[in-house]
């Protein structure tokens, strides 16, 4: 599986009109043009591109590479999608549309938000290349809107106005994205290194204890040693996620409680 680079692409960077036409196409649609009947569908092109990005990372994704995977000429691929920018939007929207969505009905609000966070975390684990795409201009296709609709329902009935619902969801998704990126980096580091985090810490921990001046760095020495011993590594992605998500929920809980009591937040 491909490693996760820094942000390397942006969604909605292509022709907006053509992109929206493709995003909202009929499922299984073929290019609407004269000439020989096309042997592929847009969906098949997108599926091949997702498979390449999942396995090799976003840097490996080129129109030529997708064409090779499909067994067609590189130029013929442009009869299906205008270019890589539009293809990337189709890939994102497809992933968003197909990701599992937990049933939120009947759950307390904290459990609803946990479920939304978990669904997104699992999506990033299956498709780590998504972490490398800036979606400040999201692909406005059916997959993206279905995802947004579902996740907003986790905040329904909590007394938040529409802007606050959007803000709260953005806040939650920002945490999940950051956490998933750190976890992906940790997994990539372990794949690229012959030494596991536990092995690295077993060697480094005792060495650090000998060389670090505990009188000069008393707090760092104490806290670092305690954290390293607790996690048996310098960083534990699962612990960081659990701890951070709880703090996110606590913070949103203050706002929700304020709205329930009719008080204004600072």
Number of residues in the chain? 266
Q: Is 124 exposed, middle or buried (0-12, 13-18, 19+ CB in 10 A)?
A: buried
DSSP-derived letter for residue 241 is: H
Distance separating alpha carbons of residues 104 and 253, to the nearest angstrom? 18
pLDDT of the residue at 231:
75
Distance separating alpha carbons of residues 212 and 223, to the nearest angstrom? 13
For 196, the token pair is: 């596991």
The answer to whether the CB of 81 falls within 8 A of the CB of 45 is yes
**Which structural domains are found in the chain, ordered by start?**
9-97 (1.10.10.60), 104-261 (1.10.357.10)
Distance separating alpha carbons of residues 22 and 42, to the nearest angstrom? 8
The answer to whether the CB of 130 falls within 8 A of the CB of 3 is no
Torsion of CA 220, 222, 225, 229, to 10 degrees: -140
Give the closest residue to 15 by CA, choosing from 75, 88, 91: 88
Q: Is 216 exposed, middle or buried (0-12, 13-18, 19+ CB in 10 A)?
A: exposed
Under 8 Å CB-to-CB from 64, ≥6 apart: which residues?
74
DSSP-derived letter for residue 137 is: S
pLDDT of the residue at 2:
54
What DSSP assignment string belongs to 19-81?
Answer: HHHHHTSPTT-----SSSPPS--HHHHHHHHHHHHHHH-GGG--HHHHHHHHTS-TGGGGGT-
Q: What is the dihedral sign for C-alpha 237, 174, 6, 123?
A: positive
CA distances (Å), origin 128, targets 2, 5, 186, 190, 227: 8, 10, 12, 15, 27
Q: Which residues of the chain have pLDDT under 50?
A: 34-37
pTM to 2 decimal places: 0.85
Specify which residues 10 forms β-bridges with: 134
């Amino acid at each position: 599986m491909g490693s996760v680079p820094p942000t390397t692409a942006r969604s909605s960077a292509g022709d907006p009109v053509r992109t929206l036409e493709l995003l909202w196409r009929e499922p299984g649609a073929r290019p609407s043009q004269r000439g020989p009947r096309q042997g592929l569908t847009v969906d098949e092109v997108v599926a091949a591109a997702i498979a390449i990005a999942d396995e090799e990372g976003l840097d490996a994704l080129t129109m030529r590479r997708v064409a090779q995977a499909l067994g067609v000429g590189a130029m013929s691929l442009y009869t299906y999608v205008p270019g890589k920018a539009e293809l990337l939007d189709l890939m994102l929207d497809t992933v968003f549309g197909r990701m599992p969505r937990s049933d939120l009905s009947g759950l307390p609000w904290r459990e609803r938000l946990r479920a939304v966070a978990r669904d997104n975390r699992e999506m990033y684990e299956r498709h780590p290349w998504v972490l490398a795409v800036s979606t400040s201009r999201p692909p406005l296709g059916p997959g993206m809107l279905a995802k947004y609709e579902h996740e907003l329902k986790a905040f329904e009935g909590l007394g938040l106005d529409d802007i606050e619902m959007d803000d709260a969801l953005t806040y939650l998704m920002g945490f999940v994205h950051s956490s998933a990126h750190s976890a992906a980096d940790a997994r990539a580091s372990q794949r690229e290194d012959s030494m596991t985090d536990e092995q690295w810490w077993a060697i480094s921990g005792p060495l650090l204890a000998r060389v670090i001046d505990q009188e000069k760095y008393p707090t760092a020495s104490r806290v670092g040693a305690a954290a390293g011993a607790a996690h048996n590594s310098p960083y534990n992605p699962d612990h960081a996620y659990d701890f951070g998500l709880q703090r996110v929920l606590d913070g949103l809980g203050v706002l929700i409680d304020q709205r329930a009591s009719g008080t204004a937040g600072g």
